[in-house]
Amino acid sequence: MSIREKITEMLINDIADVFMLDKDYVESHPELNFREDLVANSMQYFPIITALEEELKIDIDFHEFQNEARTIELAIDYVLTLYNAQHQ
């Protein structure tokens, strides 16, 4: 499994859990916007960010994640970029 696939799987599972959505729905809608479509609040970002940090051994700035990772697709790209930068 590539690191991109691992990040994608983690985000899909965590987003489905946190927002109580069907995993298949989340997986088939990478364009879902955290704020507009999921109506995310600060407390919902924490378990997602924490799980990514622990599993991938990376540091994620909470506010930067909120601003840069507006959609699921952008979140995957953002986390992958961080992972690559912190694991060189």
Tokens of 13: 């599972």
Q: What is the pLDDT of residue 74?
A: 98
pLDDT level of residue 53 (50, 70, 90 thresholds)? very high
- Residue spans per domain, the chain: 3-86
Work out the percent of the chain whose per-residue pLDDT is above 70.
Answer: 100
Distance CA 67, CA 57 (A): 21
Distance CA 1, CA 11 (A): 15
Distance CA 65, CA 61 (A): 6
Superfamily of domain 3-86 in the CATH hierarchy: ACP-like (1.10.1200.10)
pTM across the whole model: 0.94
Tokens of 1: 């499994």
